[in-house]
């Protein structure tokens, strides 16, 4: 139902998400049986080619390179801080998308669950870049 709303009216969903995201994140952390469904509701900034858009993990997957097996992310308070990070340098001229996670919960979630649909979460501050 929420996934349908997310597709139907993205701006209304994002407004709703800002208000209730903490509860979705809590659910991901505490409800292992439903965490994949809840993960599909989460939103992030997705950077690729220096451009940013709001999106979820399915949006990220649609941007991935053909043989890419990792979901790369960078914890940062906002996009300007992320873009100034020295860890961004390897990503600036690649087609590899990058999630900007602005809440500590997001990084904890990624560390706890480890992967989404077989794609491993990797913090670029600790990554090797064989896929770039």
CA distances from 73 to 15, 44, 82, 117 (A): 23, 10, 10, 16
> What is the band of 129 on the pLDDT scale with cuts at 50, 70, 90?
low
The 3-state DSSP class for residue 46 equals strand
Nearest to residue 88, comparing CAs of 119, 33, 57, 132?
132
Per-residue model confidence as pLDDT tens digits over 101-120: 987 889 999 999 999 999 99
**pTM > 0.85:** yes
- Tally the residues of the chain: 132
> What is the band of 3 on the pLDDT scale with cuts at 50, 70, 90?
confident
Across 73-94, average pLDDT: 88
Would you state the pLDDT for residue 132? 61
Per-residue model confidence as pLDDT tens digits over 49-62: 878 889 999 999 99
Please give the Cα distance from 111 to 130 (Å, whole number). 20
Residue with tokens 């941007």: 63
Nearest to residue 102, comparing CAs of 66, 124, 76, 84?
76
Please give the Cα distance from 120 to 43 (Å, whole number). 18
């Amino acid at each position: 139902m929420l996934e349908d709303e997310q597709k139907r009216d993205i701006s209304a969903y994002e407004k709703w998400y800002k208000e209730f995201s903490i509860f979705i994140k809590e659910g991901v952390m505490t409800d292992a049986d439903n965490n994949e469904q809840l993960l599909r509701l989460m939103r992030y900034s997705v950077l690729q080619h220096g451009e940013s858009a709001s999106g979820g993990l399915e949006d990220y997957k649609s941007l991935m390179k053909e043989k890419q097996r990792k979901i790369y992310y960078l914890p940062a308070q906002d996009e300007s801080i992320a873009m100034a990070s020295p860890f961004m340098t390897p990503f600036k001229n690649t087609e590899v998308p990058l999630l900007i996670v602005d809440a500590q919960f997001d990084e904890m979630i990624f560390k706890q669950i480890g992967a989404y649909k077989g794609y491993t979460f990797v913090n670029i501050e600790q990554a090797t870049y064989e896929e770039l």
